[in-house]
Amino acid sequence: MRRTLTLLAAYAVLAVWPSAAAAQDDEAAIRKLSSDFFAAWTRHDVKAMAADFAEDADIINPFGRVAKGRAEIEKLFTAEHAGPFKGTSYEATVSVRMLAPGFALGDWESTVTGMHDASGQPLPPFKHHVAAVYVKKGGHWLTAAARPYAFLPPPAK
pLDDT in tens, 69-110: 999 999 999 999 998 899 999 999 999 999 999 999 999 999
Q: What is the 3-state secondary structure (H, E, C) of 22-51?
A: HHHHHHHHHHHHHHHHHHHHHHCCHHHHHH
- Write down the pLDDT at residue 157: 86
Name beta bridge partners: 93.
109
Cβ atoms of 84 and 115 closer than 8 Å:
yes
Q: How confident is the model at residue 6 (pLDDT cuts 50, 70, 90)?
A: low
Asked if the 20-149 domain carries CATH number 3.10.20.30, the reply is no
- Write down the pLDDT at residue 87: 94
How far does Cα 105 stand from its chain's mean position?
8
Percent of the chain with pLDDT over 90: 78
What are the boundaries of each domain within the chain?
Answer: 20-149
